[in-house]
Amino acid sequence: MSLRILRWWLACWRQAIARDLQFRTQTVLIAVGALVDVAISLVPALVLAQTARTAANGWDESTAVLVVGLFTLSTALLDTVIGPNLLRLDSAVRTGELDLLLIRPIPALLALMLRWVRPAEATRVLVGGALVVAALGAADEVPGPLDVIGCLAMMAIGVVAWTLFWVNASFLSFWWASAAPVQDIVGALREAGQYPRAAFRRMPLRGFTTLVPALLLATLPAQLLLGGAPAGPLLGGAAVVLAGGILTAVHWRLALRRYDSASS
Amino acid sequence: MSTLLPTAAALVGRDLTVTLTNRAWVVLLQLGAVTPPIVSLLVWTGAVARGATPPVPVDQLVTWFVLVAMVSMVTSSWTASFLAEDIRTGGLSIWLVRPCPALLPLLANNVAEKAVKLVVLLPLVAVLALAVHDQVHLPTAPGVWAAALGALACAALLAFVLDVLIGSLAFWFEDVEGVQGIVGLTQRLLSGAVVPLMLLPSEVQEAVRFQPFRFTLAFPLEVLTGAATTEAADWLVMLAWTGVALGLLALVWSRGVRRYEAAGA
């Protein structure tokens, strides 16, 4: 079963790359737009860091750039793989196009989240990586192997946690006739993840690490990369993923029961 | 000319009805409009509580974030892609043969949707203002409100005309999405939507002071929040940009319509 899913997903990637190569100008524009977007997202983080560099926790420009770099890596993955699918969900539910996924011989929820891929968005991985290296160089920090592993594990947890949150928000399309603007709300909430932990008071910090897990994408991974204790964030993140997974499974069953499909 | 006002009223009425049939969509859209400033508010107030020292008074910053969704909605325009599609597919033809300006339905749609959005957005902004009421300082002088309304009207007109200009590029290019995306990103940064311009270093502020995008969002907010950079020169430049944009639109539209080759033309 898992091999069949893997073959199916590789076929999705092949098709996406072929499509991108066919519409080259559009692909270049998407890639350029993604890069400009990264540059723009650096501005508020740097402005905030400039005014807060005298604050506690040793927060400075290099920390701000590190968080934006990690945020760029996490969101590049999300926008390459998950985003293209969830952005289509509203229209798929409304027009009954979802039927075509439900009848395929692979788990429908997986197909719903992974069917479409947008390789051009992955160009941000290069920029994100460069920002992380530059930030660590500017801060004169060389993270140890355990710090790097902790950071990567936290980012993986963050990406899964955010995917589950995003999926549940997108499932509102099953309950409302036109829930497309939910994507704007999700996108705006995700922006909170590009700031260092020192920018949040206790209540917003709790909210953005549990109910709306934006800070798991880059803020907490940055903390681990800079030598923070890994046990608490990793265990907490795993609990958020577990709760999100259960909620998503229940929500998916309820949503399917409500779905009318094109032919019914 | 005598039919212009009734036609405009009928078009606004039609778009009001259409917008009101999508009530959940409008509510979600406005929730999406207030979410970015709420996130910014949480981040900035958190940073200030930790000792950050922004270059402007904190109250002014909070007032900015409370009002930005409202001003952004009033000055927003979403016409370019619809106009470009009408030009590409020939949908513009039915408006070119009718006895009213072809841009009137676009303007009517803009006004009608904003009227409905305003009704939804006002309570949301009021709740946000209540939550931070200690730090929200609205102007008390009627003159400031009058000036802000003037700046707001001018900003809305300028943003609409710039948007129509981008859509009009479809007279010459098949696909204007790329241009629209790049202008959109530039506008987000230079209008103060990403970060208030008053927070930028002073030399950067001076460099972006007279560019047109500032007058589509930041300037009316600066008038409302009492920022220092609202001198006579700013007003003159805003009026000049609006005049230039209108002149350019007249030129581009007349040339574009002459070039227009719709299905059946």
In order, the DSSP letters of A136-196 are HHHTT----HHHHHHHHHHHHHHHHHHHHHHHHHHGGGGTSS--TTHHHHHHHHHGGGGS-
Q: Are A193 and A214 in contact (CB under 8 A)?
A: yes
Confidence at A53, pLDDT banded by 50, 70, 90: low
Cα-based torsion angle of the residue sequence B156, B159, B164, B165 in order, rounded to the nearest 10 degrees:
140
Q: Residue A262 above 80 pLDDT?
A: no
- How much is the pLDDT for B63? 93
Q: CA of A175: which chain B residue's CA is closest?
A: B24
Q: Are B25 and A178 in contact (CB under 8 A)?
A: yes
**Is the minimum CB–CB distance between A191 and chain B shorter than 8 Å?**
yes
Identity of residue B165:
L
Q: Is residue B85 part of a domain?
A: yes
Residue ranges for chain B with pLDDT beneath 70: 1, 228-230, 263-265
Whole-model pTM: value is 0.88
Going from N- to C-terminal start, the domains of chain A cover 2-8+26-258
- How much is the pLDDT for A264? 54
- Looking at residue B135, the DSSP 8-state letter turns out to be G
Query: How far, CA to CA in Å, does B201 sit from each of A47, B91, B198, B225?
Result: 8, 47, 8, 19
- How much is the pLDDT for A58? 57
Distance CA A234, CA A248 (A): 21
Interchain contact, A55 vs B181, CB within 8 Å: no
Instruction: Write the CB contacts of B59 (distance below 8 Å, at least 6 apart in sequence).
Output: B135, B136, B137
Quick one: average pLDDT of A142-155? 94
Q: What is the pLDDT of residues A180-213, one digit of tens each?
A: 899 999 999 999 999 988 888 999 999 999 999 9
- How much is the pLDDT for B264? 55
Longest distance between any two alpha carbons in chain A, whole Å: 63
Task: Domain of residue B235: give its range.
Answer: 4-259
- Token readout for B153 is 């009207």
Q: Is residue B252 part of a domain?
A: yes
Q: Residue A241 above 70 pLDDT?
A: yes
- Looking at residue B62, the DSSP 8-state letter turns out to be H
Q: CA of A31: which chain B residue's CA is closest?
A: B178
- How much is the pLDDT for A105? 86
Distance CA B221, CA B160 (A): 18
Instruction: Write the CB contacts of B71 (distance below 8 Å, at least 6 apart in sequence).
Output: B152, B155, B217, B220, B221, B224
H or E stretch at B180: helix B177-190
Distance CA B184, CA B164 (A): 13
Interchain contact, B39 vs A200, CB within 8 Å: no
Interchain contact, B35 vs A188, CB within 8 Å: yes
CB atoms within 10 A of CB B49: 15
How many domains are there within chain B? 1
Q: What is the pLDDT of residues A73-111, one digit of tens each?
A: 999 999 999 999 999 999 899 888 888 888 888 899 999
Cα-based torsion angle of the residue sequence B6, B11, B12, B13 in order, rounded to the nearest 10 degrees:
90
Please name the residue that has the structure tokens 């990403």.
Answer: B194
- How much is the pLDDT for A57? 55
H or E stretch at B240: helix B232-259
CA-nearest of A240, A246, A243 to A154 is A240
- How much is the pLDDT for A54? 52
Q: Is residue B136 part of a domain?
A: yes
Q: How many residues does chain A have?
A: 264
- Token readout for B126 is 């009021």
Distance CA B265, CA B253 (A): 17
Q: How many residues does chain B have?
A: 265
- How much is the pLDDT for A27? 76
- How much is the pLDDT for B62? 93
- Residues of A with Cβ-Cβ distance to B47 under 8 angstroms: 48, 51-52, 55, 198-199
| DSSP percent split of chain B into helix, strand, coil, nearest 5 | 75, 0, 25
Q: Is residue B121 part of a domain?
A: yes
Alpha helices for chain A (secondary structure H): 2-22, 24-52, 61-77, 83-95, 99-102, 108-114, 123-138, 145-170, 182-190, 202-207, 219-225, 231-258
**Is the minimum CB–CB distance between A263 and chain B shorter than 8 Å?**
no
Query: 3-class SS at B132?
Result: coil
| B59 Cα to chain A: minimum distance (Å) | 16
Q: Is residue B213 part of a domain?
A: yes
